[in-house]
């Protein structure tokens, strides 16, 4: 009997014992379905994280003042990032296209007449912020260089501030008051949603206005930068790092990071969690393999006379062994294919449902079916069948034809 004939016999056995075959395959079905679903979910979340962070520019570099406990001693005049550091990076880091300093101010109510918006996110920055953050302007204009040079009392606000303070009105040219300063709205940001949060309560004010007319000093919370065309993020990060190390006398008191590296770290965490969960889910494949071994032992017992007859007419041990191995492999493979089919259907339902619910983003949570993972799962499930079917197949191959024919 050739391998094709063994395959055909295996399919006949499935048709003859449908319920028994299904119950035997159940462990493999659940195992393959679980592993495939976990890979699909982790892939979906990895895509979601990448897509969300890229909205603000994955090539954005962020510079922090972050001295360790030991480095804080002997820093001299170095006490954080300042406006001069923005100029230093722009002038000496040849790969930097744009750099912008940001001072995050304490949250406080913003008022217009009798209306108030509590807890806005107030950022003092410069004219490059709109380009670096990839946040467009829906109405009016962004902060300009003249606003920075002239220290004008202007601001750009998010859509929520504009709508709540000036419902039904054009917010451009309107005045808003914060503690200690009054500002004129010159622009309204386009809406950007990141990880379920929007920029609706954001407010940008000129950094020079904040420093010289409002809070004083020249400190910055962090600096953002972007590479010139033709330079990679890593090259520019190295360039900025060298500049800041020269300033600090080679003391590692600054941290240079990028949104690209944040994507890589978060993606790695999602993949790692997926691998661990897949390993746990794959334990059900072990249960499925034991079920296949059990049913193949039953099959060998039921077909003892058939085995004896085949051996009596010339079937070799290798032919009998191959027949039962093919049967167990087919049993496991069909279970794996069913599991993948169920996982694919669940993934499609989840994709459509999350798109309708607009969660966790407006486009939902895409769950693409990983073809390579599907092929690996199919091969692995077939291997499970072969491994756990080896003992029953060997037992069948070693049966004596005379004793097998005497079996009632």
Contact predicate 224/61, CB 8 Å: yes
Report pLDDT for 74: 52
Contact predicate 35/282, CB 8 Å: yes
Same domain, 217 and 308: no
Q: What residues contact residue 214 under an 8 Å CB cut-off, 6+ apart?
A: 180, 181, 205
Closest CA to 224 of 250, 210, 204, 194: 204
Same domain, 72 and 29: no
Structural domain boundaries enclosing 32: 3-54+265-406
The total number of structural domains that make up the chain: 2
Same domain, 156 and 186: yes
Report pLDDT for 56: 66
332 in a structural domain: yes
Same domain, 152 and 203: yes
pTM: 0.67
Considering 252, 279, 311, which residue would you say is the last residue of a domain? 252
257 in a structural domain: no
97 in a structural domain: yes
**To 10 degrees, the CA torsion angle through 16, 20, 22, 24?**
-130
- How many Å apart are CA 204 and CA 189, to the nearest integer? 10
Same domain, 158 and 284: no
123 in a structural domain: yes
Same domain, 375 and 314: yes
Report pLDDT for 303: 76
Considering 225, 252, 279, which residue would you say is the last residue of a domain? 252
**Could you tell me the two tokens for 323?**
């027949």
Beta bridge partners of 177: 111, 182
Q: Label residues 366-392 b or e (16+ Cβ within 10 Å = b).
A: bbebbeebbeebbebbbbbbbbbbbeb
- How many Å apart are CA 394 and CA 401, to the nearest integer? 14
Same domain, 33 and 164: no
Same domain, 74 and 178: yes
Considering 252, 280, 309, which residue would you say is the last residue of a domain? 252
Contact predicate 204/155, CB 8 Å: yes
401 in a structural domain: yes
Where is 293: in which H helix or E strand? Answer: helix 283-302
* Matching residue, tokens 């972050």: 66
258 in a structural domain: no
Closest CA to 367 of 62, 41, 128: 41
Length of the chain: 408
* Matching residue, tokens 């946040």: 135
Segments of the chain with pLDDT less than 50:
1
What sign does the CA torsion over 376, 381, 384, 385 have? negative
Same domain, 228 and 360: no
Q: Label residues 137-161 b or e (16+ Cβ within 10 Å = b).
A: eebbebbbeebbeebbbbbbbbbbb
Closest CA to 31 of 360, 319, 383: 383
Same domain, 224 and 77: yes
Same domain, 179 and 296: no
385 in a structural domain: yes
Same domain, 117 and 164: yes
193 in a structural domain: yes
Q: What residues contact residue 106 under an 8 Å CB cut-off, 6+ apart?
A: 122
């Amino acid at each position: 009997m050739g391998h094709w004939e063994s395959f055909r016999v295996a399919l006949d056995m499935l048709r003859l014992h449908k319920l028994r075959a299904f119950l035997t395959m159940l462990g493999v079905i659940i195992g393959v379905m679980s592993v495939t679903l976990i890979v699909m979910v982790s892939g979906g979340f990895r895509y979601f994280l990448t897509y969300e962070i890229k909205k603000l520019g994955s090539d954005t570099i962020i510079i922090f003042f972050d001295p360790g406990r030991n480095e804080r001693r002997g820093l001299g005049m170095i006490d954080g990032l300042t406006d001069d550091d923005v100029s230093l990076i722009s002038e000496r880091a040849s790969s930097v296209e744009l750099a912008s300093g940001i001072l995050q101010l304490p949250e406080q109510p913003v008022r217009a007449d009798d209306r108030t918006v509590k807890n806005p996110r107030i950022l003092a920055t410069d004219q490059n912020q709109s380009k670096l953050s990839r946040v467009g302007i829906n109405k009016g204009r962004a902060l300009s260089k003249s606003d920075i040079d002239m220290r004008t009392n202007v601001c750009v606000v998010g859509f929520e501030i504009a709508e709540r303070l000036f419902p039904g009105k054009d917010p451009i040219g309107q005045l808003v008051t914060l503690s200690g300063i009054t500002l004129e709205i010159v622009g309204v940001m386009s809406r950007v949603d990141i990880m379920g949060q929007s920029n609706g309560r954001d407010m940008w004010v000129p950094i020079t206005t904040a420093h010289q007319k409002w809070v004083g000093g020249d400190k910055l919370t962090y600096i953002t930068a972007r590479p010139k065309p033709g330079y990679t993020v890593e090259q520019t990060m190295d360039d900025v790092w060298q500049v800041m190390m020269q300033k600090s006398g080679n003391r590692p008191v600054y941290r240079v990071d990028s949104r690209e590296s944040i994507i890589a770290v978060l993606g790695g965490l999602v993949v790692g969690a997926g691998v661990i969960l897949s390993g746990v889910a794959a334990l059900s494949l072990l249960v499925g393999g034991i079920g296949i071994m059990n049913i193949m032992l039953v099959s060998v017992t039921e077909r003892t006379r058939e085995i004896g007859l085949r051996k009596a007419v010339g079937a070799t041990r290798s032919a009998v062994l191959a027949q039962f191995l093919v049967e167990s492999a087919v049993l496991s493979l069909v279970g794996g294919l069913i599991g993948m089919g169920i996982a694919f259907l669940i993934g499609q339902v989840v994709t459509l449902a999350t798109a309708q619910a607009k969660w966790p983003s407006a486009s939902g949570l895409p769950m693409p079916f990983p073809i390579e993972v599907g092929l690996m799962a199919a091969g692995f499930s077939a291997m499970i069948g072969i491994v756990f079917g080896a003992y029953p197949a060997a037992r069948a191959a070693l049966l004596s034809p005379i004793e097998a024919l005497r079996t009632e």
